Structure 1
């Protein structure tokens, strides 16, 4: 609780001389009737009047103190924050082809990409983010949403092998573009991550990039894979998965063209740390505009103090007139 006029609380000090004067009057006494002996009076039982004899003074002092508090205008304060966010709509297009299980990242490319993407999502307060996964075909894992918890749950369920294998970069990009087409956000972004060369799908990656450019969508492309060779999954003659050293092939030229055509950037991630640094850089490049205004709302509380003072005076009046009534 705060007070609009806290200096008026000094009036409470007037209660001390009033209490002192009352005690002085009690000690001085004020008998008006002479009797021969008080022995019989001392043996008389103590009634309610005896115990309430000081109540009127106490109630008047309490009422006065309450009125002083009311004059000081007590107020309850509530802190409020108003946040205006100029958010960004972001679609993550994630390659889930079989080669994303290669183990040149820890524990593999796909899990590393999911972990870093999860951290990126958690940092994007106020933005709507969606998720598209693609291999030989593409589908939407999550539409644009501001519900980070749900999106992270859906990201955690992403697996390789759930759709036809291959690398349809154009289809993945086109599906993400389609999800952003109806967006009214001032800034629309796609982050496309892949580790291979486009070999499937009906839409060419460069054609999809032209569509993104027309829609005002900026595309950041990330090529994932170490340089040279990497332990890549393969199926042996018995149908078991094994890992063999295979050459890492990423169509960096196409990924660069996509980024250049849409005003984005191309990045190459060769290990977990580099991939994390890339997402951190994109996070800095695509900052949402957030305006936070702190303000305080005050509510006047003096009325309840005034009512309390009136109630105390009413009780004092009733005790004084009905219980402690004097004979003139």
Structure 2
């Protein structure tokens, strides 16, 4: 068990009554006053006996204010950690690290970046939202290998993704091997829903397995594959030769969109084309809808609210002070 205040910033309001008393002008008493000839001598007398009593009458109001602040700060007791809710979905992420991913035809926050930098940035945000899924990470180039096995630890997946770099698995593109490795990993797990998200900017140029053959095998085992083709359509080439300046060329000429579309179609998934940062953000948002994860914000611990106790004490003390004031007014009447 652990005690905490859910909104501790409420205690910043502690000096509010004193600031109110200090900065606001005193109330003006417009009632008629009795004029007596010896008023100056009465005012000169020091009510020494009343000073301690006056100070003593202030502390109940201070206690009431503190209790109200404690209630507003939402005190609570946190119990043991709750078991992580799961969706029953196993999701492998296959990321292309071939040499073409270093092409700088993407924009991130207004700056030109290579394809891998943009994909890693937005894929990391996608991973953070996949609460309840088991995620795994496959990196592929000339070869494919499992960088992270299926796990609920999204932080670890994000860290391994961030540590990846172009050429880590070779400079070519083994799409078929990546799909085959994902199938092998997903078949070992008894999940009701198996998903592969494949991100690449090229065509299959390496490996021993045909991408379409691997896709048919995935379809036979109920594995959906969502493919994402990365790369801008055209870009102005500022070459060394003056004659080449302003020439438009297609930086995604090596992207095999036909195969990626067929892979998605065979497995019941979808194909997406990412030409920019906005495209990738929209793609990940669509994936969140097609394969919804649990909502963030679910409590990780059982919280027992305690705010009714200070609130009830403040109410009782306020009623006691009010009753005491009524008694005094009747006694002086």
Q: Compute the TM-score of the two structures, normalised by the length of structure 1.
A: 0.59
Q: Confirm whether residue 86 of structure 1 aligns to residue 87 of structure 2.
A: yes
Of structures 1 and 2, the larger Rg is shown by: 1
**Does the CA contact (< 8 Å) of 2:128 and 2:154 recur in 1?**
yes
Q: What SS does structure 2 have at the residue aligned with 1:85?
A: coil
Match of 1:248 in 2: 252
Match of 1:147 in 2: 153
Query: 4+ residue runs of structure 1 moved beyond 2 angstroms?
Result: 76-87, 228-232, 244-247, 288-298
Q: Which runs of 5+ in 2 are unaligned?
A: 1-75, 108-112, 239-247, 306-333
**Of 161, 179, 188, the match for 2:194:** 188
The structure with the greater share of residues assigned to strand is: 1
**Does the CA contact (< 8 Å) of 1:131 and 1:143 recur in 2?**
yes
From the superposition, tell whether residues 185 and 102 of structure 1 become closer, same or farther in structure 2 (CA, over 3 Å): same
**Of 228, 232, 245, the match for 1:222:** 228
Equivalents in 2 of 1:179, 1:125: separation in Å? 20
**Does the CA contact (< 8 Å) of 2:85 and 2:132 recur in 1?**
no
Deviations 1:97-124 (A, max 9, x none): 1110111113110011111110011001
**Does the CA contact (< 8 Å) of 2:96 and 2:199 recur in 1?**
yes
**Does the CA contact (< 8 Å) of 1:120 and 1:279 recur in 2?**
yes
**Does the CA contact (< 8 Å) of 1:96 and 1:134 recur in 2?**
yes
Match of 1:259 in 2: 264
From the superposition, tell whether residues 181 and 273 of structure 1 become closer, same or farther in structure 2 (CA, over 3 Å): same
From the superposition, tell whether residues 79 and 254 of structure 1 become closer, same or farther in structure 2 (CA, over 3 Å): same
Match of 1:270 in 2: 275
Deviations 1:222-253 (A, max 9, x none): 00011135779xxxxxxxxxxx9664221111
Equivalents in 2 of 1:227, 1:78: separation in Å? 53
- Greater RCO structure (CA 8 Å; 6+ sep): 1
Q: What SS does structure 1 have at the residue aligned with 2:86?
A: strand
How large is the Cα RMSD of the aligned pairs?
Answer: 2.9
Matched residue count: 212
Equivalents in 2 of 1:83, 1:140: separation in Å? 24
Match of 1:162 in 2: 168
**Does the CA contact (< 8 Å) of 1:83 and 1:290 recur in 2?**
no
Q: What SS does structure 1 have at the residue aligned with 2:106?
A: coil
**Of 287, 292, 295, the match for 1:287:** 292
Equivalents in 2 of 1:94, 1:282: separation in Å? 16
**Does the CA contact (< 8 Å) of 2:139 and 2:169 recur in 1?**
no
